[in-house]
Structure 1
Amino acid sequence: MTCETTDETTGETPSAASVVQGPGGGWRSYGGARRSTRAVRVRVSAVLVGATVLAVLLVPPLVRLDQQAVDLALKLRPPSWAHPFGTDDVGRDLLLRCVYGLRVSLLVGLAAALTATVVGTAVGALAGALGGWVDRLVMRAVDTLASVPHLLMGVFIVAMFRPGVWPVVVSVALTHWISTARIVRAEVLSLRSRPYVDAAVSGGASRWRVTVRHLLPAVLPQAGLAAVLMVPHAMWHESALSFLGLGLPSHTASLGTLIQGARSSLLAGDWWPTLFPGLFLIVPTLALAGLAGAWRERINPRRRSELML
């Protein structure tokens, strides 16, 4: 005796590969299980991103403690009620330092991502709209820059300046606009063949007007998605540069400088000065990447339909 299940919305019988047994013993489609898991992941990512934003906005003005205050009597205290994340090698509260470090790293990531998105969108739109030898020349330059490792190019850029916030922002922006330029160029090339673009050209619209009025607004969702995906990457890039001593000054609390300053403590067996800044870097960046992935599925109908199967 066989038991068949039917889809309530379509009346069709799903295949065995697309049906899984639910926790209550019932049966549900595999696509429904995947959608449910994806929805939970998006909710968790949204909560973590919201907590991150609230922490960097509310903790500095509400907590009246100086995150630079040194108390050698509290040097390298393990986590406790008074100091949930412990203290660092000069007695500073590590929880407060991590929040300030996350604030700096997030601001650097946002500024770098916004700058890189503007540059990449302008270059990609120019190459895609003009086409011909301009497109070939620009894309060959983009391919040449893409062949150089990002971190190596970033080290070369920041080495020409004194350690500071803006050299890091410029370094990350100049090494991360390439992917946005490629995405925008591909979108512009696909939009150039659309009927409404042909109609605008036939009506006497100049190439500049077509680009500004029709092409750029259509590629803004993809450019915005690229910017959101770039923020975690930029935060990791800043942390790597600061860890190498080439990014932010050592007295500035960023996640990279906190991890860099905790190396000696880790070698001595004190794990908390390294663990908690690392978690503050990993968790928010994964949450941002999760939200960006959900956005990508929403604006890409083909990918969304594949994930619903």
Structure 2
Amino acid sequence: MRGRKGLVFAVAVLAVLGLAVLLVPPIVQLDERLVDLRSAGLPPSFAHPLGTDEVGRDVLVRSIYGLRVSFTVGMVAALVSITIGGLVGLVAGSAGGTLDRVLMRIVDGFNSLPHLLFGIFIVAMFSPSPVAVVVSVGVTHWTTSARIVRSEVLSLRSRPFVEAAISGGASRARVVRRHLLPHLLPHLMLASVLMIPHAIWHETALSFLGLGLPPHMASLGNMINDGQRSLLTGGWWASLAPGLFVVLPTLAIAILANHLRDRRSPRRRSELSL
């Protein structure tokens, strides 16, 4: 979904969900351990717009809480991943030589590992918690940003203003701080935006498998996992609602990130429109 309509859709979805995440939790307090078996498995109605789950919890309220948890974990995990990858790419591109080759071989080694299986191995060493998910995503998804930063640093090193600074006696730290980082920050910001949907899906997958967040915590992966049992009794809404809360915001973020990338690369945008 590209063009103005896609951008409007993305902004509208993020605005509505953002307001819901900000306004609903202070108004509707959720006790994650409270159950109400008298209201278990109710279909969508005026009192419960998205129905209730198998233990009587409101699906809409839990989905909003789960969206807040998943987005928070996803953003922190993306920040960790971008920070690790950015530092590795900056060091590799700036130093060059043997250190660059060693770091790139490490990147190749991490890329050869299946991300999800490696992430499962990492979270299995911890008890289910947000910290375990952040560590899992951060350790398994930094390689892409490392390659992006390294390639950009190698390109910048051949620019006249960088060569002039080096010829003028500027230290490596000063060149990095004054000339490289200002040009790298936009790329890192775009990479972090693109990483957030991936981190959310990763957290959802781990929680769905029972390895991410604690089972009682309202997260989208836990809700989808709980909802699959309701499918056998016709409770389709218990899985559909959290599934939509995963798909819609991640799709909106991806559209917004693609729009920002096209704005930064007009040549690429014109080639795609041919």
TM-score range, shorter chain: over 0.9
- Residues 2-50 of structure 1 show CA distances to partners (whole Å, capped at 9, x for unaligned) of xxxxxxxxxxxxxxxxxxxxxxxxxxxxxxxx9xx50110111011111
In the alignment, what sits opposite 2:241?
276
| 1:62 counterpart (19, 27, 51) | 27
1:227-242 equivalence runs, <5 A: 227-242=192-207
Give the Å deviation of 1:68: 4.6
Q: Distance in 2 between matches of 1:64 and 1:48?
A: 24
- Residues 269-291 of structure 1 show CA distances to partners (whole Å, capped at 9, x for unaligned) of 21110110100000000000000
1:1-309 equivalence runs, <5 A: 38-64=3-29, 66=31, 68-309=33-274
What is the SS of the residue equivalent to 1:262? helix
How many residues are paired up?
A: 274
- Residues 142-183 of structure 1 show CA distances to partners (whole Å, capped at 9, x for unaligned) of 001001011011001000011101011111111111100000
Q: Distance in 1 between matches of 2:31 and 2:109?
A: 47
Give the Å deviation of 1:51: 1.4
Contact 1:68 1:92 in 2 (8 A): no
Amino acid of the residue matched to residue 194 of structure 1? R
What is the SS of the residue equivalent to 1:210? helix
Amino acid of the residue matched to residue 258 of structure 2? G
Q: Distance in 2 between matches of 1:146 and 1:170?
A: 17
Amino acid of the residue matched to residue 93 of structure 1? D
Q: Distance in 1 between matches of 2:29 and 2:144?
A: 42
What is the SS of the residue equivalent to 1:70? coil
Q: Distance in 1 between matches of 2:95 and 2:140?
A: 24
Q: Which has the higher helix share?
A: 2
Give the Å deviation of 1:294: 0.3
Per mean C-alpha deviation after superposition, the further-off stretch among 203-212 and 76-85 is 203-212
In the alignment, what sits opposite 1:30?
none
Contact 2:32 2:217 in 1 (8 A): no
Q: Distance in 1 between matches of 2:214 and 2:28?
A: 24
Contact 1:49 1:284 in 2 (8 A): yes
Q: Structure 1 runs of 4+ off > 6 angstroms?
A: none
- Residues 66-117 of structure 1 show CA distances to partners (whole Å, capped at 9, x for unaligned) of 4553211111000011100000011111100000000000000000001111
Amino acid of the residue matched to residue 226 of structure 1? A
Contact 2:32 2:216 in 1 (8 A): no
Name structure 2 gaps, 5 residues minimum.
Answer: none
Give the Å deviation of 1:308: 4.8
Q: Distance in 1 between matches of 2:169 and 2:236?
A: 68
Give the Å deviation of 1:304: 2.4
Amino acid of the residue matched to residue 280 of structure 1? F
TM-score (norm 1): 0.86
Give the Å deviation of 1:299: 1.1
Q: Distance in 2 between matches of 1:145 and 1:201?
A: 33
Contact 2:66 2:220 in 1 (8 A): yes
TM-score (norm 2): 0.97
What is the SS of the residue equivalent to 2:83? helix
Amino acid of the residue matched to residue 245 of structure 2? F
Give the Å deviation of 1:260: 0.8
Name structure 1 gaps, 5 residues minimum.
Answer: 1-33
Q: Distance in 2 between matches of 1:145 and 1:42?
A: 34
- Please give the root-mean-square deviation of Cα atoms over the aligned residues, in Å: 1.3
Q: Distance in 2 between matches of 1:67 and 1:192?
A: 53
Give the Å deviation of 1:211: 1.3
